[in-house]
Structure 1
Amino acid sequence: MAAQSQSWRDLDLRAKAFISLVVAVGTGVLLDAAINPTSKNIAQFICYLLIAILAARLKVHLPGITGTMSVNFLFILLGVLELSLTETLILGSAAIVVQCFYRDRPSAIQVTFNLCASAFATAVAYDVYHLAVGAGWFRSHPLLLGLAASTYFLANTGSTATVISLTERKALNKIWVDCYFWSFPYYLVGAAFAGMLGWFNRAFGWETSLLVVPVIYLIYRSYRLYLGKLEDEKRHVEDMANLHLRTIEALALAIEAKDHTTHDHLQRVRVYAIEVAKELKISPSEMEALHAAALLHDIGKLAIPEHIISKPGRLTPEEFEKMKIHPVVGAEILERVRFPYPVVPIVRAHHEKWDGSGYPSGLKGTDIPIGARILSAVDFLDAMASDRQYRRALPMHEVLQRMAAESG
């Protein structure tokens, strides 16, 4: 696996600290194995090593991050079962080196981290397995292999997901769940295969290990097919997002055709709303909804008579009552678009007020969606600070005073 390629200077302090810790621990494991080398069967080890080096070239790119995954774990599990710790570490390290440099030019940080993280995960899995065997914790051999596979999976993917989270500034749990957790069943399948191969080796000799070659390719192909399906689904989602964006742009053009003073206002409101939302750290779904609603919140004005929209003076009470229907009409129009994020509630509530004196529903306080509260505030600010047919723009300090008076 490979984390994003960055220079050491570009990394923040937390990323440097974590990488340094993993490198220190992994280096200690490798040095200990080098100082105390052991071998159970050199011919068997060489056979596994050659196959592992060939299989290391079979890697797949993970969706959404700059990382890869290979079938190296299968040889780690075979080593845990059949080889010494030193031999198992050499297997894993040789496969990592080949994987890093095949078709890629990784940085020294990447190679060092990947080697040390793999060594740490391998040593932990090896020690857990043999400690459990020696202590007699489980009588079931499949459970022991499942425990070793789970330990290796957690240690290896956990360290890699953590460094990707720190370098790419993405949520750790999201990276681990979305990009690695799906592969856990493959580790269990690998454990089952390693157990079966171990039984064949004891019954017929280690030469039956050559059976591993077609199985490795089958696992690799299943990886590729599954990730290909994920990429197709991701592409479909992106296509739908682009479709919604084009729908938004088309509807925004319809608003501009009705009210020529709206274009600049909508663009300013969109920028203000997104910046406020970033400061408030609202969820990605709410951010997407606010982005669309900022452009479409006045679409209901399409139902308002032209003489009211274009009137140069203040509206009469009767005209204002007709103007007040535009949030409801806008929400009804946008309901037919079926956005994948909550645009409609924001459009419907963007003229509500904290004290309940707004329209159309008289919502109060936190009953008003957060996106609608943001949109209402920035819409008010831009309307007051802009020239209108019936008045000049107000000074910004006066606008801010009025906003403070209207706030909850």
Structure 2
Amino acid sequence: MPVIKFRSDDMPKKLKIYIISIIIFGVCFTIVTLNRNRSIHTSELIFFLFLSIVAESMAILTPNKRGGVSVGFAIGFTLLLIFGVPEASWLASIGIMFRILNVDGKRMHIFNTPIYKTLFNGANIVLSSGFAGLCYEALGGTPGQLEFINILPMFGSIVVYIVINAIIMSILMAILSSDSLIKQLYTNIIWIIRDYFAIAPLSIIMAIAYINYGMLGVLLFFGPLLLARYSFKLYVDMRNMYLDTVKALCQAVEAKDPYTQGHSQRVSELAYNLGKRLKLSHKTLENLRFAGMLHDIGKIGIDEHILNKPGRLTTDEYDKIKLHPVIGSKIIQGIDFLKESADIVMGHHEHYDGTGYPDGKKEDEIPFEACILCVVDVYDALTSDRPYRRAMTEEEAIEIIKRESGTLFNPIVANEFIKMLGYKGEVEKRAG
């Protein structure tokens, strides 16, 4: 589930209205479904509340801190199969509202988290699990009675849960980021669909265990759930280590060439966004992101007097500069998770007409990702201050890219980049 950071005092009116609306809908749904309430023993209530809070407290933040994976859905879906609505919805909701998360070494809980955020998260779960539960029963499923014919109701309820949850969070993120709702919806559904369907079988097993053996049966299968969570944590920790390695390499370049400070990060973001517009695969986008961050890593091997020379470079000095793609490619080839970015780094100074370096490749000989990196690298360099010149305006940089499209730059990539920045035709500035 995405982790959104915002404060009530700087929230736009549209965002406030949306958050309040979801909270009201959640409260209304709970009230309307209360007449469906079934008897539940106090011991069962305490038991499942405890499991729900524990499961939600074990959420693992992803490396970018904008999202996380929680095993709370496993308990929520188990509750749905055992008790149905409304028990499943409000037990799962309490679990997420009373969870305790460790964020950057600080424990976050209901007493130090803004109340609107806590209530929004709770309402989200009420609506997601609530409508999923109604779908389960509408398709023929009966809470507390699991049979083979329940496969369709279970499948349908998972789909409803994913869709409702994704819609609620996508609208929120679209308001915050100004991105399109469709884009956010697609991203959120892709993010959770695999994990939720992978966790669902364990929920079914825990529900069967409870129906046949009671609370002890659930505990027996709660262990494998913890093991799955631990395995994913190891994966996230490994990804964090990878990102720390990339950041350290970027800092090494910036220490060598202070005029490029922030350049690698900007190039990486621009290349990634352009790659998404060009519909590259997720894996290719990741390689492109890393290549953008490390495209100048080879400058470590170049004399800093040459890198920071305020005047024109001599032919010999320029020949040494032209070695940095080769040096950079060799450096990252030796790092397993980066080696697929090596060819992109090697080719980011190749030109579409064959006049680039280090190999003089042209047109389709140049990796497509390297063509992307070439355009965004030149754009950011032109619009940044350098030892030998002041930064150009955005319009001046776009004029150069338009002029060199088909010579220095792949025309398809250059044209899409210009569109991405909001220009068209004769460099008409984007509206607004």
Q: TM-score, normalised by structure 1?
A: 0.67
Please tell me whether the aligned partners of residues 118 and 156 of structure 1 are also in contact (alpha carbons under 8 angstroms): yes
- Out of 124, 127, 136, which is 2:138 matched to? 127
Higher relative contact order (CA 8 A, sep 6+): 1
Alpha-carbon displacement from aligned partner over 1:313-358 (angstroms, at most 9, x marks no partner): 6535x77556544433442343224453754234322322232222
Structure 1: any 5+ residue segments left out of the alignment? 40-44, 80-87, 132-140, 198-210, 257-262
Query: How far apart are the structure 1 equivalents of 2:243 and 2:149?
Result: 46
Aligned partner of residue 56 in structure 1, secondary structure: helix
Structure 2: any 5+ residue segments left out of the alignment? 62-66, 100-108, 175-183, 277-284, 407-432
5 Å-filtered alignment, 1:319-334, equals 324-334=322-332
5 Å-filtered alignment, 1:2-401, equals 10=11, 27=28, 31=32, 34=35, 45-47=39-41, 50-59=43-52, 60=55, 61-64=58-61, 65=67, 68-69=72-73, 71-79=75-83, 88-93=84-89, 95-96=91-92, 98-100=94-96, 102=98, 104-105=109-110, 107-129=118-140, 142-168=147-173, 171-177=187-193, 179-190=195-206, 192-193=208-209, 197=212, 211-250=213-252, 253=255, 256=256, 263-267=257-261, 269-270=263-264, 273-274=267-268, 276-277=270-271, 280=274, 282=276, 283-293=285-295, 295-299=296-300, 301=302, 315-316=314-315, 324-340=322-338, 342-365=340-363, 367-368=366-367, 369=370, 370-379=372-381, 386-388=386-388, 393=389, 396=392, 400=397
Query: How far apart are the structure 1 equivalents of 2:170 and 2:332?
Result: 36
Query: How far apart are the structure 2 equivalents of 1:406 and 1:2?
Result: 41
Amino acid corresponding to residue 125 of structure 1 in structure 2: Y
Alpha-carbon displacement from aligned partner over 1:116-160 (angstroms, at most 9, x marks no partner): 4333222221121259xxxxxxxxx73223333333333234323
CA 150–53 in structure 1, closer or farther in 2 if over 3 Å, else same: farther
Larger radius of gyration: 1
Amino acid corresponding to residue 267 of structure 1 in structure 2: Q
Query: How far apart are the structure 1 equivalents of 2:242 and 2:197?
Result: 26
Query: How far apart are the structure 2 equivalents of 1:244 and 1:234?
Result: 15
Aligned partner of residue 349 in structure 2, secondary structure: coil
Alpha-carbon displacement from aligned partner over 1:285-336 (angstroms, at most 9, x marks no partner): 422320221x42534536x9x99997976535x7755654443344234322
Query: How far apart are the structure 2 equivalents of 1:101 and 1:157?
Result: 19
Please tell me whether the aligned partners of residues 266 and 380 of structure 2 are also in contact (alpha carbons under 8 angstroms): yes
What RMSD, in angstroms, separates the aligned Cα atoms of the two structures?
4.5
Please tell me whether the aligned partners of residues 23 and 119 of structure 2 are also in contact (alpha carbons under 8 angstroms): no
Alpha-carbon displacement from aligned partner over 1:168-191 (angstroms, at most 9, x marks no partner): 566212331364233121133245
Higher helix proportion, which one? 1
Amino acid corresponding to residue 261 of structure 2 in structure 1: Q
Query: How far apart are the structure 2 equivalents of 1:124 and 1:402?
Result: 57
Amino acid corresponding to residue 229 of structure 1 in structure 2: S
Query: How far apart are the structure 2 equivalents of 1:396 and 1:114?
Result: 50
Q: TM-score, normalised by structure 2?
A: 0.64
